[in-house]
Structure 1
């Protein structure tokens, strides 16, 4: 039998601000913690809640103006409290996912992630980290070989390719481009400072743009 997971006091308060915002503003800024969770989780369903509570918050602000001159504000107060409490209930799971907390009492543990999915997500996180490093410290990025799998260095960047310095065969292999398409990218090296700028300069199939944005990086000289 598996021993229950012990949760530290620090873990218990991680992300508690989600509830403070929802309750402290009586639901009027409930969209804020949902937006934070969506940005961290990068999941479409989380962004749906951002849209829902964005509309709800706009409606609350509009209703506040409408009820301003009325003596009986009880209906508005009831609606705002309902929104705040509902938001807190829905934020429980999101908070645990964002801050890596175990499920609460009576809540089912999350289903195990398929190893193939976990591998893709891990590579995506490594690409994001490598991009951030390349943006903050280009010199270190070059020493680590970010975006240069052809150099055979040890750093794992999640499968990036440096559009500004990698050879054509490497660009073609990582991005799934043809030889002539990769040659056009190499011919434009030095004339663009970012992936989107490269897409404007170089004639490449639109169908390849998503993969180029996902795997491409431009490490500044």
Structure 2
């Protein structure tokens, strides 16, 4: 969908100068402009208020006496200052919000990268549950992709308990290597750390282990 405000925005590099240099006359239009760009009814309504305040000042100034002051003068002066100063600040804030939004749109997040970061975050959360509340972690079947479950642990694999076929599939290991790991854990009664896999399984290299280390957990058998 074409953005009707994009071309006009490029011609307005410093929005806040318009209400500032027009002594408040441009506050209403510029805040309405920014509100429309953000699709915000609140900002649009605020722009209408700034415009109304400037009209109050402009019209009221025609009926005041320059040689005397009174309640009307105070009202008119306040309306003008709010329209001018507050409108300028409001416009500057809108300008910053809109331009930061444009920068985010010009550098969209790679969905593949975002998904990988989400998996990392889920693994951290699942590991924290394993450490702080093992019973709950057991209920959630953390590290058991071989079992039906609803909790997403980010791809953790319990090396001590999943079948060798699951080790091979989930960790992208050769079937022979997965069988070596399964045989070694049977002999040892389970592993306690990734480094033990290197010691007892000749089929896995340090580089291979480094690629999967973050996904491994070692729960009691």
TM-score computed with the length of structure 2 as normaliser: 0.49
TM-score computed with the length of structure 1 as normaliser: 0.49
Q: Radius of gyration: which is bigger?
A: 2
